[in-house]
Structure 1
Amino acid sequence: MQTASTNIGERMGRSQEPSDSKRGPVIGCHLCNKSIRDISWLLNIPRSTVSGIITKWKQLGTTATQPPSGRPRHMTGRGQRMLKRTVRRSQ
């Protein structure tokens, strides 16, 4: 029988970010002067994730997910109309 897991590292893929409800406790522990190692151990989150959350919070002042920069992915994906180029052969 399997139980629901609360470990972020097990449930999150490499490209996913933790939700806002998971970031709040990290910032709370940081404000209580806990070390990154202690926060990681207490919340069972990788140290790199804890460090990234704290760094973004210090830089941006918020824990909300920011939109990605650059061109949207849907513009470059398959199924879109592809531009064709004509190649002329010199005779």
Structure 2
Amino acid sequence: MQTASTNIGERMGRSQELSDSKRGPVIGGHLCNKSIRDISWLLNIPRSTVSGIITKWKQLGTTATQPPSGRPRHMTERGQRMLKRTVRRSLQQSANCLQSQ
């Protein structure tokens, strides 16, 4: 029998992602009409995590990790620098020519 841990830090760190092998039983427990608290206690994961997995599954139909929305920040800054450099080097070229490079 598992014992519930009182320290959330021992169970799962903030930056860790829950594995697929733990997400499946969360949905299985939900389909068996178990409460979020019961699922959390049985699997030894935080209630907020269980709730998030169930909500995501209801909205998207999947528990797989989705890529972040929007453009990555480092690409934006790098792209802007490259564009400025290209424009400075060739002021006489048209916008279509610059865009194709």
Q: 8 Å contact 2:11–2:44 — kept in the other structure?
A: no
Q: Distance in 2 between matches of 1:4 and 1:80?
A: 51
- CA apart distance, 1:21: 1.2
Between 4-13 and 70-79, the greater mean CA deviation after superposition: 4-13
* Counterparts in 2 of 1:77 and 1:9: CA distance versus 1, 3 Å: farther
Name the SS of the counterpart of 1:49 in structure 2: helix
2:79 aligned partner: 79
- CA apart distance, 1:71: 1.6
TM-score by structure 2 length?
0.62
Deviations 1:44-64 (A, max 9, x none): 100000000000000000111
- CA apart distance, 1:38: 0.4
In the alignment, structure 1 segments of 5+ residues that lack a partner are: none
1 or 2, which has the higher helix percentage? 2
Between 74-83 and 13-22, the greater mean CA deviation after superposition: 74-83
Paired residues, number: 91
Rg comparison, structure with higher value: 2
Instruction: Check if 1:39 corresponds to 2:42.
Output: no
Q: Distance in 2 between matches of 1:78 and 1:4?
A: 47
Q: 8 Å contact 1:20–1:64 — kept in the other structure?
A: yes
Q: Distance in 2 between matches of 1:30 and 1:80?
A: 47
Q: 8 Å contact 2:36–2:51 — kept in the other structure?
A: yes
- CA apart distance, 1:14: 1.3
TM-score by structure 1 length?
0.68
Q: 8 Å contact 1:40–1:46 — kept in the other structure?
A: yes
- CA apart distance, 1:70: 1.2
Q: 8 Å contact 1:36–1:50 — kept in the other structure?
A: yes
